[in-house]
Homo-oligomer: A and B are copies of this chain.
Amino acid sequence: MNDKSSQVIDTMARKCIVGRMRLMNRVITGLYDSALRPLGVKASQFNILVVTGQLGLARPAEVCSILRLDTSTLSRNVERMRTQGWLEIVPAEDARAQPFRLTEQGRLLLEQCAPAWERAQQGAEELLGEEGMTLLDKLARKLGLPMS
């Protein structure tokens, strides 16, 4: 490999935003997955539970817009969580819609997640530091996240 090629590759390695983002995502997700494992919940599912809990009655399109998820992704996640008994579909006027909400069991589960979530949250804060937390807040706002 010649020098020019090496240089280009080196630049892409050192500056790549998506590389960093994905790596950090794996690390942080691992933290929460570990903490939530005893409850049988994954980080992805936890976030859906939380948003559903906030909305009360959740329209898939709305949840996807909030979480920036493809509708097909949510569709399958909801299906799995429905199978677990955490969510239930609610009949709607519009026959196309499939609004859902937490079941009683789902609400209980979500509350039971709180201590594990706290622990993971603390671990993540330690990793990121005070400064990192502030930064994350700003990034979230920069991306216009509804969760900020």
Contacts and interface: CB of A to CB of B under 8 A. Distances in A.
Interface of A: 1, 5-6, 8-10, 12-29, 31-32, 43-44, 46-47, 50-51, 53-54, 56, 67-69, 107, 110-111, 113-114, 117, 120-121, 124-125, 127-129, 131-133, 135-136, 138-140, 142-143, 145, 147-148
A43 B16 CA distance: 10
A105 to B, nearest CB: 13
Q: Give this chain's copy count.
A: 2
A107 B138 contact: no
A138 B127 CA distance: 11
Looking at A23, A44, A56, A143, which has the most chain B CB atoms within 10 Å of its CB?
A23
A119 to B, nearest CB: 12
Looking at A113, A120, A139, A142, which has the most chain B CB atoms within 10 Å of its CB?
A139
A127 B56 CA distance: 31
